[in-house]
Every structure is written in C-alpha cells, then in structure tokens.
Amino acid sequence: MHRSRNMKGLIRLMIFFMLCLAVRPQLTTDFYSKSCPNLLQIVRKEVLKAVKAETRMAASLLRLHFHDCFVNGCDASILLDVSDTEKLSLANNNSARGYEVIDSIKAAVETQCSGVVSCADILTIAARDSVLLSGGPTWKVPLGRRDGFVANLSASNNLPSPFEGINEISKKFSDVGLNISDVVALSGAHTIGLAKCSLFSNRLFGTPDPTMDAEMLADLQNFCPQNGDGNKMTVLDRNSSDLFDNHYFNNLVNNKGLLHSDQVLYSSSEAQSTTKSIVESYSNNPRIFFSDFANSMIRMGNINPLTGTNVLYYIR
C-alpha cells in the first residue's frame, strides 16, 4: 500500500521533470520559419547594403554581437538607451558602432513581421552575415532569443581588454562558458576591422614590446606618435584588413599582431602549453580556422539566452 503510493509519487515526479525538460525552450534554426519566413533574406539584404556603403561595418557588427553576448548574455542589452547604458562603457564608448544599422535592419524586419523578431536574434544573424560577406565561413544561426530590459554597465566595463594576458582573458571567457579554444578561434575576428592607437601604443614606446616585428614597430611608431591623437585608427590585420581569412594567425606567427591581447596568444609563456599550437594550426590551415570559428560563434551566441515564456522553465 505504502510502497505503491510512493511509486505513484515517484512516477508523478518523474513525469514532472520530463515535462520540464520537454518544454524547456531551446534556440532553433527554424524559430521564425512560420512567424517571419523572410527574416534571413531581409537581414542579409540590409547587412549587404551597409557593408557596400562601408566595408568596415562588417567588423563593427560582428563586434557588437560579441559585446552584447558577454554582458548578461545575448539579450540585445547593448542597444538599450537607459541611464546606465552599456554604450558608454570603457570598451564601447567612442568605439562600438553600427547601432544605426541594427536599427534599420529591425525597421525592415518590422515592415514584414511586426513585433515578432528580437533584436538579440538580429544582432546574431547580422554578425553571421558580416563574416560571410567579408569572405569568411557561414553557419546556421540558432534563434529564439528574447530581448532583455536591463543594461549592465559594470559588466560591460569588464569586457576583455587589449591590455590583458591569456589568463585574465580566458577567465572572462570561462565565466560565460567558453574555453581557451574559443578564445583563440574568436580572436580570429580581428582579421577584419580597425583599432585605435591608444589601445596598443603602450607596446611602441619606452621599452618597445620585443614580440613586435621591427618593421611593423617602426611603422606604428611613426603612425601613432607619442602624445599624438590616440583616436587615430589602423588595421588589426595588416595583411588583408577587409577580408575574413586566416591571415590574423599568420600575423601572430610573424610577430605582427596589433594588440597585446592578440600577440600573447602566440608569444607569451602561457601560450606555450595552451594557445600557441592552435594559432599555428589556424595559420597553416584556414579551413580548420573557419570551421572552429563557426562553432565558437554558435557557442558565443548561446550565452544565457532569454528563451520561452513557459513558467515551468523558471522552476529549474
């Protein structure tokens, strides 16, 4: 008698937990296939328009997605114009850009599917399209994120910094569920886009960074003079700055990484047992880089998404 009542209770409990798993919403690549069937075409067309108008916009859109996902997850909080807006954080102020492109993509999407598609998903698709349109790999984008309503300026101030080393950066990645392989693959995003003198000029003067190629050092000392305009910009990938390719990694092997946080992946003592061999393999094999980059982008896009509306989800 008692035993059978316990059994029933156990079975009920098991069914409850199975239901919890079953209704727990996951990101899916076909999330909008009924509610916004043209979504991917609309975003592609708008990103193409923006990148044709300015090639660098591809880099800027890719970076926006990164800076969104690392702060409270991929919830478009970077777009919020609230009092503690993330747009003014150390890494974003006067640096993150492309917000108006996200606004026009959102507007174009709204004309066809009003109130359906989240900005977090638009940021994710735009990042993928930016990579593809720059000559990089493509992948299917898991969708179904909802947008958050809370900005987190202090978390945004804690984004990885170009002055940090492998240990600090990999800690920040592991805090959001990414590992050291993701650090290397995703740093390959620096195959496109620009950086300001103020973010690497500490490598040029005093005792110049010995891990910088001598010719590049002389070039940059000239381009970014001491007490000059720290906002002047130069390319992150001196070989092919508009093309998404593996030359970022060739550069590292040749001591031509621009940021301290780039070059340490190959040259630092910590790199010997961790990242150096990955850099070498990407430098030798663009296909491995492309495939790992795509997988790491999907993992980055999966950081703490807000999904679903079912209350069961929140019981976990």
Ligand X SMILES: *[C@@H]1O[C@H](CO)[C@@H](O)[C@H](O)[C@H]1NC(C)=O
Catalytic residue IDs: 67
- Nearest to ligand X of 261, 275 (CB atom): 275
Torsion of CA 296, 164, 282, 69, to 10 degrees: 20
- Nearest to ligand HEM of 36, 123 (CB atom): 123
CA distances from 142 to 8, 34, 121, 232, 287 (A): 38, 15, 9, 37, 22
Binding site for ligand HEM (CB under 6 A): 56, 59-60, 62-63, 66, 95, 97, 160-162, 169, 183, 186-187, 189-190, 192-196, 199, 259, 261
Closest distance of CB 186 from ligand X, Å: 11
Q: How far apart are CA 2 and CA 108, in angstroms?
A: 63
Which residue has its beta carbon closest to ligand X? 155
Q: How far apart are CA 38 and CA 35, in angstroms?
A: 9
Q: How far apart are CA 16 and CA 29, in angstroms?
A: 27
Q: Taking a C-beta distance cutoff of 8 angstroms, is the pair 86, 136 a contact?
A: no
- Nearest to ligand X of 203, 238 (CB atom): 238
Closest distance of CB 293 from ligand X, Å: 13
SS3 state at 249: helix
- Nearest to ligand HEM of 161, 240 (CB atom): 161
Which residue has its beta carbon closest to ligand HEM? 193
Closest distance of CB 110 from ligand HEM, Å: 26
Nearest to 164, CA basis, from 88, 264, 248:
264
- Residue 211 binding partner per list ligand X, ligand HEM, none, with a CB distance cut-off of 5 to 8 Å that depends on partner kind: none
- Residue 201 binding partner per list ligand X, ligand HEM, none, with a CB distance cut-off of 5 to 8 Å that depends on partner kind: none
The most distant pair of C-alpha atoms in the chain lies apart, rounded to whole Å, by 88
Closest distance of CB 194 from ligand X, Å: 16
- Residue 194 binding partner per list ligand X, ligand HEM, none, with a CB distance cut-off of 5 to 8 Å that depends on partner kind: ligand HEM
94 exposure class (CB count in 10 Å sphere: 0-12, 13-18, 19+): exposed
Binding site for ligand X (CB under 6 A): 72, 88, 93-94, 150, 152, 154-155, 158, 179-181, 239, 247, 250
